[in-house]
Amino acid sequence: MSALPTSIKEKTHHSISKESKGKRPENTLDVDVDGEPVNGIERDTTYHDKQGKSKLQITSLIGLLMIIVITFSTLLGSFNGSDSPQCRSIYMYPAYARIDGFDSRFTSLAQKYHLYLYREQGKDRNPMENEEIQLDGIPVLFIPGNAGSYKQVRSIAAASSNIFFEDKESIENMYTKNLDFFAADFNEDFTAFHGRTMIDQAEYLNDAIRYILSLYEQSKSYIDPLPTSVIVIGHSMGGVVARLLPTLQNHVDYSIRALITLSSPHALAPVTFDGDILKIYQRTNDYWRNQMNDKSSFLAQNVSLVSITGGILDMMLPADYTAVEDILPIENGFTTYSTTIPEVWTPIDHLAVVWCDQLRSKVARLLLEIVDGTTAEKVRPLRQRMFVSRKMLLSGLEDEMMQDLELIDPKKYSEVYESQDFREAYDLKGSQRLSISRSNKNQFPRYSKFILPSDGQNTTFSFLTSLQEPQVFFCKLNQQLEEATHSKSSMNCVSAFHDMATVPASSSDLEFPAQSSLDDVTHPFKMLSIDKRILSQYDFIVVENKKAAIQNDQDFIYAGLTSDKISTDVSERPVQLVFSGMQLTLNSSFLYHTFRFPKLWDSLLSYRVSCSSKAYTSDRLIFEPLIRQWIEDPFETKWHVNINNSDIDINMHNVAPFIPLEELHDKSLMLTVIVPPNYGLELCVRINWTLTLKMLFIRYRLTFLSLPISLACIIVAYQFFNYRQTREFITFNSALASVLKRGLVLALAIILLSPATNSKPLQRILFMLDPIRLNQPFLLEEEHIHTNFYFLGIRSWFMSPLGLFFMVMSVAILYLIASIFDFIESLVIAISVRFAASAIRNEVRLKDRPSINKPRRTITSFLLIGIVFFYVPYQIASAVSLLIQIGTCFRVAIKSTRSGFKNYDNLRNYNFSVFLILSFVVAINAPIIVVFLHNVAIRWETPFRSHHNVLAIAPIIFLVSTNSAFNMPLFKSGKFYENGISAILFGYTGVFCLIYGARNLYWIHHLFNITCAWLLLTIFSNNAQTDNVDKAKITQA
């Protein structure tokens, strides 16, 4: 009996050919390679019942609706109020001078990268005079981010030139100096995708810093001390590259002392397509932590790092990733948000963060305030730099700001006043309030005095005004002077002007806090809040009534003392806000009141607060109520102005997935409500589901890739398991339907997986089982910093169903892909049928057994491997393999219609499963391919310096080549180790993707490669067994 082809041994219930779509004849038996029945098992065409298919269709429909909702929420949903963009446009007159002298003599990367010097026309000196470069300022190096341009330096550079040359008197730093801005041109490299590219940039920048410092040594016109360091500004991934500089061997010692990063992902790699990126992050963060822990190190004593992020509008990079609190102490740096920074008060998207007028002016002024042109270091000492940074970049109302208040040190900042200086002062005691406006300013004397209680009770003083130069004095009677002169007319007073926080104005004609931002027509308010810790040092407070400054209806002064509790803890949990809102009531007994929500800390949830007002008087309000939304760590403040009878959206960057968490810090959401006198307010807090869904994609972009792969691998594992049981390799959708029969159990398991992976005992086990171990959840356990790297990184029970939400969408994605592929396949078959007659006449008869080692395929495979070894990354080869696999799938479909066999279904279903997994693997590899093609496009002829491990691609190449010869694993012996290992490998890959996948996407390629090696081994083993059987038959004959 002649043997059928080994790769097409079984019939299935779902044939591609027209004949197989009809009713199957009774008593038709499966046959093995010799045409004999297999255990006499009759086909059961109802194995996959209609119930499973209907569950699959319903689940897919629900998942598709979820995908549509998230897509529309992400793309079409708008931000309102304080979350809406309010950046002003800018103008400058840029000039860029390319420094050609920085060539291959100084760096090996001179042909790929370039260095530019920026000059603002009409302000800065010409870059060249008498064929010599002209440098007269302090060097600043700008590092662009992923696919960024060196021209992005122009915004901040132009602002610094304008301030220095046109408004120098406004700079409080007497040692300030103009700045020389240098910018690196990386030809818009994709830094975020490729670790080797990041290292290349860092090595080039270290060489560039050495060269920049040498230029000042060569400059004959430079009269100040020669610089030994440069200030570094990094945008996006440029900020991470800046932190990488000190870790490399070619780093110039002591050359970096001040770093400012804009929307840079310090806490976590934004994508995980390349393992080198994760290794660089681990090495860099470990280096910085070790240096900061060593208080005698150069970094700990001299280097400052300020991370600025645009907040909610940054849809390219989650703002949570910009945190640096787990990397360095507060004495060396912090993270702040553009909504926090005084007189910026607007969220900013990822690209606009370098050109937003309000922010670039703040950054430029910060640079001019921290430099010191009289020293070789060119920056002020670390403590002074951090003082200036906190003053300019924090709201001024944080507890961390108390150390910077002049009021805390009356011995240093006080001045002696006589009682006659505050003569005829209006005395206020107890809970009396001072409210001065245009209508009643003449009813008050020049000074009003608040007498502080002497019994040490818990008292708080608050002050709010629209005036730009208010005066409030904190005074203490001078007892020593009284005893010496027998006079009671002297006192020591400290002016609180420099301690006042600048807050956005709130009036009926304002809608956004940024409408009173830097250089706007409307001036912001000044606010002061002082508690017992400082008040205990003083006897009374004097507020000056500047009648001449109160000129219109919007001008006012409002102040008061209170011993009442000014904060309320609200214990409601998110689950209580699902169906009904939380009602809060506030009366105007004091200027402000803080609602603390200790149970509302999850960044995944957004809220909506409906405000309804109740005025207790018909008089005009001196200002409209406003809300400060804030959290303690990181320093995020968001202002909501003119909230009278309006709805405001609350979104925060607090406890976020995969981000290190300081467990001892208070993570409560805080709402400080500031109200005018004679005013009441009712708040209704509820969950904002639309905004919550909109913010899911930015935080879980990688999960939208890892979970479908996880589910696909588990389904393929089930296909192989069923193949061993029935000799039938069922279709992917049939397997998916079979798995969904146990949908309730699976749904419960997925829901419980989030709280399980957040438990520390299980995390220790998962870390031990992690084959990579680059993500260490307990690395900073001594500092009480903990990270959840597993599954979705969720820390709250309430968000546990999110895993089910994503898994249902994954079902829809896989079902949609399979259905689309079926549709395309049917089109290919329909087209091929038209040419079927001529094709069959000319078709070569199939051999009894397809050839595995056909010379043409073997040569092509080794040629592709050779190209990988010498030039292209192996990711390119995976893309080529995918194209070959697609061709194989269509060839199998066409062959089934042309030949007389009905046995191609197993081969078809197997090849589709390989195609599906391989397509996801190529999607993971796509960013590396983009980086390689970009290098080719800029004619960078040096071979790609990574990803040439041929063992990482050879099994995939050879399996795809073998598949193209219509081979598949047969597992004829029925032994578990043959088929069972295949199912186990796919199952393990699925579990890995589920638990570790989002933070280790690159490793999925290697797991699939190992699985391909095993499948290839089984095919060769089956072929060898068949050879032995054939030889034995010939011998017997």
Residues 733-775 pLDDT 10s = 999 999 998 888 999 999 999 999 999 999 999 999 999 999 9
User: What domains appear along the chain, each with residue ranges and CATH number?
Assistant: 6-69+700-1029 (no CATH), 94-394 (3.40.50.1820), 406-562 (no CATH), 567-689 (2.60.120)
What integer is the mean pLDDT of 241-247?
98
Question: What is the C-alpha separation between 213 and 225, in angstroms, rounded?
Answer: 12
* Helix and strand counts by DSSP (H, E) for the chain: 25, 34
* C-beta of residue 500 within 8 angstroms of C-beta of residue 528: yes
Question: What is the C-alpha separation between 979 and 424, in angstroms, rounded?
Answer: 97
Helical axes 275-293 vs 195-218, angle rounded to 10°? 50
Percent of residues, the chain, with pLDDT higher than 90: 70
Helical axes 1002-1036 vs 954-963, angle rounded to 10°? 50
Question: What is the C-alpha separation between 864 and 844, in angstroms, rounded?
Answer: 28
**pLDDT tops 60 at residue 566:** yes
pLDDT band for position 726 (50/70/90)?
Answer: confident
pLDDT band for position 455 (50/70/90)?
Answer: confident
Summarised one tens digit per residue, pLDDT across range 973-1017 is 666 666 789 999 999 999 999 999 999 999 999 999 999 999 999
Give me the DSSP letters along 417-486.
EEGGGGTT-EEE-TT-EEEEETTTGGGS-SEEEEEPPSS----EEEEEES-SS--EEEEEE-HHHHHHHT
- Within 10 angstroms of residue 797's Cβ, the number of other Cβ atoms is 15
**pLDDT tops 90 at residue 874:** yes
Please name which of 18, 39, 19, 8 lies closest in space to residue 726, comparing C-alpha atoms: 39
Between 947 and 85, the higher pLDDT residue: 85
- pLDDT value of position 184: 98
- pLDDT value of position 456: 63
Which residues neighbour 388 within 8 Å (Cβ) at sequence distance 6 or greater? 173, 366, 369, 370, 380
**pLDDT tops 70 at residue 639:** yes
In Å, how far are 287, 289, 721 from 280, measured between CA atoms?
A: 10, 14, 40
Question: What is the C-alpha separation between 617 and 869, in angstroms, rounded?
Answer: 82
**3-state SS, residue 874:** helix
What integer is the mean pLDDT of 172-184?
96
| Structure-token match 């800390």, residue found | 601
What integer is the mean pLDDT of 393-419?
92
What integer is the mean pLDDT of 819-842?
76
What integer is the mean pLDDT of 667-673?
96
Question: What is the C-alpha separation between 702 and 540, in angstroms, rounded?
Answer: 58
Question: What is the C-alpha separation between 849 and 87, in angstroms, rounded?
Answer: 69
- pLDDT value of position 3: 37
**What is the pLDDT of the chain when averaged over all its residues?**
88
pLDDT band for position 700 (50/70/90)?
Answer: very high
CA distance from start to end of the chain: 12
| Structure-token match 């760096």, residue found | 107
* C-beta of residue 811 within 8 angstroms of C-beta of residue 59: yes
Q: In what order do the strands lie in the sheet with 490-495?
A: 415-418, 490-495, 472-477, 540-544, 447-451, 426-428
**pLDDT tops 70 at residue 955:** yes
Question: What is the C-alpha separation between 67 and 59, in angstroms, rounded?
Answer: 12
Helical axes 802-834 vs 905-937, angle rounded to 10°? 100
Which range among 421-425, 449-453, 610-614, 983-987 has the greatest average pLDDT?
Answer: 983-987
What integer is the mean pLDDT of 140-165?
96
Q: Give the torsion through C-alpha atoms of 729, 731, 735, 741, to 10 deg.
A: -130
Q: 183-187, 264-268, 943-947: which has the minimum mean pLDDT?
A: 943-947
**3-state SS, residue 569:** strand
Q: 236-245, 340-349, 535-544, 1013-1022: which has the minimum mean pLDDT?
A: 1013-1022
- pLDDT value of position 841: 47
- pLDDT value of position 14: 39
**pLDDT tops 80 at residue 486:** no
Q: Is 236 a catalytic residue?
A: yes
What integer is the mean pLDDT of 119-129?
87
pLDDT band for position 37 (50/70/90)?
Answer: very low
Please name which of 357, 330, 117, 73 lies closest in space to residue 215, comparing C-alpha atoms: 117
**pLDDT tops 70 at residue 862:** yes
Percent of residues, the chain, with pLDDT higher than 70: 89
- pLDDT value of position 34: 38
- pLDDT value of position 419: 78
With residue 995 as reference, give the H or E element that holds it. Answer: helix 976-995
**pLDDT tops 90 at residue 428:** no
Catalytic residue among 155, 161, 229, 236: 236
| Structure-token match 């820390």, residue found | 795
- pLDDT value of position 564: 81
Summarised one tens digit per residue, pLDDT across range 496-546 is 999 999 999 999 999 999 999 998 989 999 999 999 989 999 999 999 998
